[in-house]
A and B are shown apart, each in its own frame.
Chain A
């Protein structure tokens, strides 16, 4: 068959892309490993190429990325800021039924609904007298529940997305339930009409009742956060001011188990298996100040944390250290973070009254990707992943630009932990063998498990 005929035949398959037939005999291509290594290296470089570095490195890498310059794949995670609040943003809630909508509550009692696509306020919900501490939305996305330090729980009607375009309208509460104590947090059950508030005790509410249908109390300490398990909607967990984490089961109308930790604002995150609470599954270290909020990605593979050290970090579910750190000069203490429902964005609310929208993958290309483009990205990602252990690639992939304060705090922390470790070692060396059993950090931080 002549090449022309072949061409004519193959042309029918795809108009844009000619199929190329290759001989895959490995003896013909002995350099494939090094070729792929170099590709991985370049991919890593391109991924790391942050916006501000772009012009600095332009001269050096001009040839390399002239093509990529237009494909927008540089690590520019910050998409935009949403300002409008006049006090710190204390809590947020995402609409589980509508991707663009996100609610935010601030310390002055203001609640806003934002349109993420054009980053504008769509609707406001005035009413709270004090700070709004908790926001949550029912699974169908119709009802917004808010609670705050004014001891009220307020239910609101969420405006319909299609009519959201009319900006700056104010909504009236559907119901206001006044209760005995100030609230710290609220969370809604998945696919149900119950929601739980945390305060002096944990209360379970129904949409239609002005009083809680159930209350849990275990000890006298205030619960400061509450979260339902989305997969198992009857199980919820709270954290309290006595450094405890408590699991509740709604069906049994009693709390189930509590662990008390030694870790109070120790900058770490701990993930547990709910069945084995005597040991954390993983300790996620990297923050240099207290972690204020955590939200899991809907994929379950990673989670985002917001910290008092003015950074947002993204961790793998099993990663001891963060995959990504986001910060800007203007972002202050982060009080709340959320993963978007499609797992491709991260939203953070901070002390500086702004909500910020970030990409979940810093170097991801936004917009529609052509199949070939997507394949190429996938390939580069796979190659990078494959060679991530090699020193050069590792160095580039791990490199992050940190604010000076955080860099210094981190190094100080490192020195401190090292000193602690050394001291421990010496103590161990000078005590009778076996008298100081080694305990992993996962266990060490747990004071006790209360039945």
Chain B
């Protein structure tokens, strides 16, 4: 410590080491509590001005104070500032406070001080020392030393806290200060504490404002702003300065200490986040709208560049040479003018009234629709595969064509041409003249060996041939006869003359055929026809022709005979009066020939009635000789009478020449009706016999009328040979209908379903279904030993509870039956059975996610959305997808729009007349 004192005399003051180094203090903390600790205990007080006192007590007091305030020596901060600081640092540990004060001292003193660090146990830096709240040997604040009263008090005062060396020093100091006081007469305060040593220091530099003297630097002589201002008093601008100073003092703003960097950054980030949050929140209504919107539209405001072809064309610029050339040509004045003029003319021509245009359009539309319809119809018909349908269609068409012949001369001509062509073809090919392989084969085997259908077909084809070839002859001849016997036209009406002509014709034909037969044409000797196979073919054909000619000759002869017969009988053939008489005659011949071929052993000849009777006999056998059979037996006889009696001229002619055919037909018809009657009889039995007879009677009558009909039809001239067949058909179909009076519909149905009782069946069905869906409860069964004692069972029968149970079950069933939908509907069965498969398929097991109630979910799928179930105006809205976009159109990110402004605009729009503007803005969702 001595060396310290010696150093005190030097220019520099080195802060004394008051305490031991920390480690030492750790070892002896109880004996030497550190002064810093003491300092720590001392309350912070603003520096008070030292009182000027000379007595020793005052000195001692002063010393104590100085001791206390030792760290506060030197110039002090202004009071206001100090208060602020104290406020600021109240919360902080006082160590820091002390340190700051020390710093102040250091600054104030302008002296180089040894900066003493805080002892480690004090700083509590790394917790190496246990924190001790109150040292064991520390004195309390209010401790009063027993030596206080003595003059030398200060020695003892510092006794406990100071080292021995310090004690001595203090004593020295005390004496020294007293001495100085006496010498200088200055208050001892001026050199209070250790600072009085400063007084001794001889300054190295003269005192100046840059080098303040010791008393200024002293704790007392603090420089305040007032001090600085004083010299300026009275000078210009002083008041201004003072005012601003006042202001500053009033509204003093303290600059805070900067926070640590991490905290600072955190605060910054927080602020930034809040800011960006706020920014993002402005999107909320927009995003909400887009999320809730059933549909987002991205196909609006699409600019495809060019809107029309014209716009594209107007942009065209010739680039290649070729294009340029063309452009120059096109743009030549002449062309342009011509074009213009032409255009003008066109415009003139274009002046059409709106009505005309509409009319034309409508007409066109109509035509188009008609065409379309026709097309559709044709397509549909074409698709039909049924052969029957097409046959019927063909027939219809033919009939229509025939009708057209009568109506329309041109159609007739066409038809005639067609026929002519057919005939020519037939002549050329002799297709139907047993020349086909099929016909030859049949002939080879013999017609008798064939079955009925084949024979018929064979006859048919021959017929066709005959018809085709004959027609030609007839037409030719008729035309020739027309030409030749123009004068005979008036006579044509006469039957006799007619017959004569026909006979003449026949004879002519005969002669001709004879000629053909006799006059063998010479075979060609040169050319293609002279080739051997050609020659052979020709010969063959000639032979065939010869044969035909022979046949024809025979026919002619027979027909001639017939004519002679007719003329002999003198009957008037009315049919001959028509223009077709020729055909008629020839037809008979044809029929005859046909008979020769096919009907030989079928009906044989005119006495076919035997056959018919035989057939009927068969039928009667089946019916076990009823009364009606007798009637049926009689019937043909009656019919014959009818035929005989009828005396119709036509019939006569038929009877003469081709008796069997009509006869058979009638008989067939009769048979048919008869058999039908029999069938009906099977259900009706004898009660209807009278009706039967009536029907027969009626039949007779009707047959008579039919004959007339037949006759008429003949007169009308069904030129085709198959008309006979047709007639047969007609009779077959119409005969029974006309002969039998139809029962009423109800009756018919009753008769048809006489056997089965539908209602009962239905009831049974219903019951079965009811039983299946609501099964009947099982009957209680008596099991000996079960439910009751056997003896009681024997006595009382079934236990009562079983019966009761059964009863309730029955009741339940009845109730459920009553509740059924078809309970009151006798003729209806409404099944209430749930098809589990279907119900599983059509129902969800759980309520799907966005829905919270079943009703809402069911409501959402209640109405159909298809185009079949909704008007076209609604379908689009119902089926619109969630996102409407167009492929190939770039979707830009969502742009901000102020929703509130939008809403306002919408409201305005709504109030202003409700235009259809839906206000689809940019609907873009935010990412």
Q: Which residues of A contact B (CB under 8 A)?
A: 4, 7-9, 11-12, 15, 19, 22, 24, 26, 29, 32-37, 39, 96-97, 99, 190, 218, 229-232, 235, 247, 249, 251-252, 254-257, 274-275, 296, 298-301, 317, 341-344, 366, 375, 378-379, 381-383, 386-387, 389-392, 451
Contact = CB atoms under 8 A, between A and B. Distances in A.
A448 to B, nearest CB: 14
> In the complex, which of the residues B269, B842, B870, B892 has the most CB atoms of chain A within 10 Å of its own CB atom?
B269
B288 interface: no
B844 A254 contact: no
Most B CB within 10 A of own CB, among A33, A235, A249, A299 = A299
B233 to A, nearest CB: 51
A343 B885 contact: yes
Interface string B856-868: 0000110011111
B344 interface: no
B283 A232 contact: yes
A296 B296 CA distance: 16
Interface string B532-565: 0000000000000000000000000000000000
B925 A300 contact: yes
B869 A301 contact: no
B492 to A, nearest CB: 50
Contact of B865 (A344, A366, A379, A451): A379
A392 B845 CA distance: 12
Contact of B298 (A255, A299, A379): A299
A451 B270 CA distance: 6
B925 A391 contact: no
B276 A249 contact: yes
B838 to A, nearest CB: 9
B184 interface: no
A299 B296 contact: yes
Interface magnitude class on chain B: 35 or more
A391 B838 CA distance: 11
A299 B891 contact: yes
A24 B890 contact: no
Contacts of B921: none
Contacts of B258: none
Contacts of A298: 298, 890-893
Nearest to A378: B879
Contacts of A24: 869-871
A401 to B, nearest CB: 24
A34 B926 CA distance: 39
Interface in B357-387: 361-362, 365-366, 368-370, 373
A219 B265 CA distance: 12
B266 interface: yes
A249 B278 CA distance: 12
Interface in B857-900: 860-861, 864-872, 875-876, 878-883, 885-896
7 contacts: A8-B365, A231-B926, A232-B896, A252-B275, A342-B891, A382-B878, A386-B860
Contact of A33 (B270, B368, B864, B895): B864
A389 B848 contact: yes
A379 B879 contact: yes
Contacts of A386: 860-861, 865
Contacts of A257: 269, 273
A323 B885 CA distance: 19
A375 B876 contact: yes
Contacts of A251: 275
Given A231-B896, A301-B882, A382 B265 contact: no
B879 A391 contact: no
B365 A12 contact: yes
Given A231-B893, A298-B893, A386-B865, 8 more contacts: A37-B842, A218-B269, A232-B279, A235-B276, A247-B273, A256-B272, A378-B880, A379-B879
B924 interface: yes
Nearest to B367: A8
A387 B925 contact: no
Interface string B774-789: 0000000000000000
Nearest to B865: A382
Nearest to A382: B879
A342 B861 contact: no
A99 B890 contact: yes
B235 interface: no
B841 interface: yes
A274 B924 CA distance: 18
B136 to A, nearest CB: 47
B272 A375 contact: no
A299 B875 contact: no
A11 B369 contact: yes
Nearest to B924: A300
Contacts of B925: 299-301, 317
Contacts of B926: 231, 300
B383 to A, nearest CB: 17
Interface in B837-854: 840-845, 848
B351 interface: no
Nearest to B886: A342
B869 A247 contact: no
Contact of A249 (B272, B844, B888): B272
A33 B373 CA distance: 33
Contact of B279 (A235, A344, A382): A235
A390 B844 contact: yes
Given A379-B875, A451-B273, A7 B369 contact: yes
B283 A231 contact: yes
Nearest to B880: A378
Interface string B258-287: 000000011011111101110111010000
Contacts of A29: 864, 868-869
B276 A8 contact: no
Nearest to A190: B893
B290 interface: yes
B280 A274 contact: yes
A4 B365 CA distance: 11
A11 B368 contact: yes
A232 B269 CA distance: 19
